[in-house]
Amino acid sequence: MPRLEAIGYKREELRSMDYGGNQVRIACLTLTLLAALSGTASAQAGSLERTSGIRQEISEPAAASVSLQRPGRSGRGEAAPALSFSVLSDLHVTSWDGESQRKFTTALDDHAALRPASSLLVLNGDLTDGEAADYRTLLAELVKHRHAPMHATMGNHEYYRMWRTPDGGMDTTRLNPDWSTRQAVQQFTQLLGYDKPYHELTLQGYHFLFASGEAYRDVQPDVKEDAYLSDKQFAWLADRLAAAGTESATKPIFVFIHQPLPHTLDGTEFERGIVQADRLNALLARYPQAIVFSGHTHWNLEKTRQIKELGFLAVGSSSVRRIWNGRNEPGEQAASQSLVVDVYPDRVVIRGREHSLRRWAGPEYVRKTALPQQSAAAAR
C-alpha cells in the first residue's frame, strides 16, 4: 500500500480512519444563513429539520420474511406504505453548471409532489465535484426546495478537488498538492453534520446504513475511482448489520454506498467499484433481507438491468445529472433518473423515475415479504 505518508497518514490510520469526535455541526448554521440570504426565512425551521443528518429512532412495526416478485402493480388503491423514501445519486451539482442545478431541483420538486409525506431523501454519492462552492450551491437549493430529511454518502467526485489547478481548471494527470483525502472527508462530514463518512439511521424500526469510500489516490494510487472501506468501517457495518439482523431476521435492511459491487448490475464490469469487493460481498451475503443501493455507473434504468438478486438485493439508481447507455456512453442529454421506494409491512416496492418527463421509468420491482404471523405458521 504505497504512499501512505504522502499526506500525513500513517499505515495504521488508513486501517482505522478515526475521524475523531463530533465536529462543530455547521450544516444547520450554513442552512440558516442560506435561508436568510435567499429570502426563505419563513421556511427555515422546516428546511433545517428536513436536512438534518441526526439519527432518528421511532417505534418498530411488523417484521417480514423475504421472497421476490417482479414486476407487480402494488400500491394502487391500497393502504399507504409504512414509509417512503427517495434515492438520488450522481447529482454532480456545481456552482458553475446551471443545468446540474436545474436537474437537481426538478428532481427534488418531482419527488416532493410524488411523495409529500416521504420519510427520507438519500443522496447516494457524487453530490458535487468536491469544491466548497459546489456544496454551498447544493445546500442553497436544499433550503429553497421542499424535501424529506436528507442523508448522504460520499462518492468519488467528492474527492475531485484533488484535480483542481491553481487557475481553477482540471488536470487529471497530476494531483493537487493543496488538497487531500483528509480534507475532502472533513469537508463532507462538517458541511453535512456527520462525525464520520458513514452512519446509521433508524426509521420506524427499519435500519438505514450509509457507507462511503474513505481514501482517494493521494493515499493509495490504485484506489482509482473505487471505494476504499477502512477496517473500522467494516467493523461498524458488520456490527450494525448484525444488530439489525438480531432484531429481525427478515425485515429489510437498507444499505447505501455510491460505488456498486463489480460484475453485478449492468455497467459494473468496467471498474472494480469496491476495493474490498469480495469482503463486502461476503458480509452482505449473510443478510438476504439487505437491499443495497448504489449509483456511479449512470446507466439508464429503463434500458439496462439495475436490480438484481445476489443473495441480497442490489439496486442501481442511475443519475440525476447525466444518463449513460448500455455501451457505457453518454445517452439522452435531457434524461434524469432516480428511485422512489415504498415500504409496506409485507413488501418493498421500488420504482424508477424519469424526471425530465415526470413519468415512471420502467416497471416497478416488488420484493415480497411475509408478516410475522405467517412466518411463524410456516415454521410450525
Global confidence as pTM: 0.81
Distant-in-sequence, close-in-space partners of 69: CB < 8 Å, separation ≥ 6: 347, 366, 367, 368
What per-residue confidence (pLDDT) applies to 369?
81
Proportion of the chain above pLDDT 70, given as a percent: 76
Which triple of cell numbers denotes residue 314? 442490489
pLDDT at 76: 52
pLDDT given for residue 203 in this prediction: 98
The whole-number mean pLDDT for each consecutive block of 10 residues of the chain, a chain of 380 residues, reads: 33 43 39 40 38 33 33 55 97 96 98 98 98 97 98 97 90 93 97 97 98 95 94 99 95 97 82 91 97 93 87 94 77 90 96 96 88 44
Under 8 Å between Cβ of 208 and 256: yes
Helix (H, G, I), strand (E, B), or coil: what is residue 348?
strand
Let me know: does 155 contact 89? Beta carbons within 8 Å: yes
Give the residue among 304, 316, 314, 318 at the shortest CA–CA distance from 367.
Answer: 314
Instruction: Write the CATH number of the domain with boundaries 11-379.
Output: 3.60.21.10
Contacts of 253 by beta carbon, 8 Å cutoff, 6+ apart: 206, 207, 209, 241, 244, 245, 287, 289, 290, 291
Q: Select from 115, 84, 24, 135 the least CA-distant residue to 349.
A: 84
The residues near 281 (Cβ < 8 Å, ≥ 6 apart) are: 261, 310
Query: In this predicted structure, what is the pLDDT of residue 270?
Result: 74
Which conformational region is residue 223 in: left (phi greater than 0), alpha (psi within -120 to 50 degrees), or beta?
Answer: alpha
Per-residue pLDDT reduced to its tens digit, 29-62: 344 334 433 443 333 334 333 344 433 332 232 3
| Helix, strand or coil, per DSSP, at residue 27 | helix
Q: What DSSP character marks residue 93?
A: B
pLDDT reported for residue 44? 37
3-state secondary structure of 228: coil
Angle at 349 between CA 340 and CA 69, to 5 degrees: 145
Rounded to a whole number, what is the largest CA-CA distance in the chain?
71
**Contact call for residues 84 and 117 (beta carbons, < 8 A):** yes
Q: What is the pLDDT of residue 326?
A: 67
- Asked whether the bond before 71 is cis by omega within 30 degrees of 0, the reply is yes
For residues 238 and 229, what is the distance between their CA atoms, to the nearest angstrom? 12
Give the pLDDT confidence score for residue 74 in this predicted structure: 40
Q: Coil, strand or helix: which one is 235? A: helix
pLDDT value for 370: 60
Helix ranges restricted to H, the chain: 11-16, 26-37, 44-50, 98-114, 132-144, 181-192, 231-247, 277-284, 372-379
Spans of all domains in the chain? 11-379
